[in-house]
Amino acid sequence: MNNIPSSSRTQTLTFPAQFESLLRIGEFVTRAARSAGLDSTAVYAVEMAVDEACTNIIEHAYGGEGRGEIECTCQMNSHALKVTLRDFGSSFDPSSVPEPNITASLEEREAGGLGLFLMRKLMDEVSFEFTPDSGNVLTMVKRKETIS
């Protein structure tokens, strides 16, 4: 599982869908983001977006830990990193997830619901695809900062 040729520009690893995997998933995407040439702020953004996405998959798609797997693919090219996460849990309608109110007072602030919000804020593209045969596929892209 760890024998990935360093020259490969596409890498895929499959992880058990449990919270304990988040550290290794984070290490995997961080390595890919660095090798794609993203700066440290972008690398941190990718790690966080992927962590939030995987937490959502475990909690919502699978409805708990240890009920399936998460397949994580990193594709690097000269201008971006594309991360694809696939699971075989329940699908959901991203448009049905309410936007968190991040200006609410402490009393009215919801403790949860930040995952999808953070993914969209941290990544340049976030898209979902749900198919009965090939599972739920989440694709996120982080582009390199271009110096203009």
Taking the least distance from each CB to other proteins, the nearer of 75 and 140 is 140
Q: Closest CB to other proteins among 8 and 104?
A: 104
C-alpha 78/C-alpha 134 separation (Å) is 28
For residues 68 and 115, which CB has a smaller minimum distance to other proteins in the complex? 115
On whether the CB atoms of residues 136 and 130 are closer than 8 A, the answer is yes
> Quick one: tokens of 42?
């972008």
Nearest in space to 102 (alpha carbons), one of 114, 93, 91, 92: 114
Instruction: Determine phi and psi for 132, rounding to 5 degrees.
Output: -65, -35
Contact set for other proteins, span 87-146 (CB under 8 A): 100, 102-104, 106-107, 109, 111-112, 114-115, 117-118, 121-122
Q: What is the DSSP letter of 145?
A: P
Q: Pick from 33, 38, 58, 85: which binds other proteins (CB under 8 A)?
A: 58
Question: What single DSSP character describes residue 124?
Answer: S
If the CB atoms of residues 28 and 75 are measured against other proteins, the closer one turns out to be 28
Q: Which residues bind other proteins (CB under 8 A)?
A: 19-20, 22-23, 26, 40-41, 44, 47-48, 51-52, 55, 58-59, 100, 102-104, 106-107, 109, 111-112, 114-115, 117-118, 121-122
